[in-house]
Structure 1
């Protein structure tokens, strides 16, 4: 099974955002993106973290912009923190534009859907404040080719309750995947065919000698 994961690139982008903000922490961040084939489409999984000195409360959300080829109803959340029951507090919606936190200005194509995951549960973290992986945020697309896009989020700071809004880069599906021509053999088939040709030639030589 084909599985592609991008981690280092997104982590570097996240670090750049934090550095430019001049603070140790930033808001919600996508730290990895995984793409896997699924029933003729492709399942995109975003791992999102809540840094220390940040909290999540009802109404906090993040938006992934220009998610091409979105399969309606495919959005979901799994492996949530602090336990799996917290998946019930997340909802997924699609819009042509936004929603975008105040004073942020990502590029946003009105012809391609945005995905927004909104939290409506108890305030997190519960207990000691520390970096927390919120979960795996999943959506299915008709496409597997990647393109650069934006991720925005808004949530309050743990120390003073002020609202933190942040923007960083992420990867999204890009429309226009070209399927292989009909009848084109799979690579494995080509390898087997290549191995078969010498064997056919050897058999002919043996027949002539006989």
Structure 2
């Protein structure tokens, strides 16, 4: 997904501000993303943490925008979290987040007891996609600050699935085709001798 230059610059500034804010202001963060092939699909696992200086209470949430190829019902999260998959939003009045209204967003909402202070690994959140190809996407976390319980929002980058362009096979398909062509070449060479 290519953004118009002014929008891309604005987005880069927002991301930069999110990374240069004092640690006490940092909200929910995706630390790692792994993609695991599963039958004909791909499991996308996001490891999320609550940094020091942050707190978590019921109603706090995080969003992964534009999760392409979502397989309905093939999701999971630690206890105390629920998932919704709106086609747009949640919108933020103070930030313009690129959001394709034809692609589902993943919104995990916390329903558990208050976590009064951060530096807590929240666990692994996963969703299954038809695609294993990725691009940079947007992760927005909404929680509270530990010191004064005021709302805190963190905007950062993460990896999201993107469908392969029409006519371009998935990487696994290319590997299999390469193996097949190599075997065919060896077979032809053996027949000549």
How many corresponding residue pairs?
175
Cα RMSD of the aligned pairs, angstroms, is 2.6
Residues 104 and 166 in structure 1, CA contact (< 8 A), matched pair in contact too: no
Residues 42, 138 of structure 1: alpha-carbon distance in 2 compared, 3 angstrom cutoff: same
Match of 2:54 in 1: 54
Deviation per residue, 1:19-51 (Å, 9 max, x gap): 1x2x12400011221112112111111111110
Single out whichever of 172-181 and 34-43 deviates more from structure 2: 172-181
Consecutive unaligned residues in structure 1, runs of 5 or more: 1-12, 78-86, 203-210
2: CA distance, partners of 1:143 / 1:180? 11
TM-score, scaled relative to structure 1: 0.73
Report what 1:107 is aligned to.
98
Q: 1:193 aligned to 181, 184, 188, which one?
A: 184
1:18 aligns with 19
Q: Residue 132 of structure 2 is aligned with which of 136, 144, 147?
A: 144
What residue in structure 1 maps to residue 7 of structure 2? none
What 5-or-longer segments of structure 2 have no aligned partner? Answer: 1-13
Name 1:163's counterpart in structure 2: 151
For the pair shown, the structure with the greater C-alpha radius of gyration is 1
Cα pair 2:23 2:53 within 8 Å, conserved: no
Task: Encode CA deviations 1:163-190: one digit per residue, 9 max, x unaligned.
Answer: 1111112221112454649x98633333
Runs of 4+ in 1 over 6 A off after TM superposition: 13-16
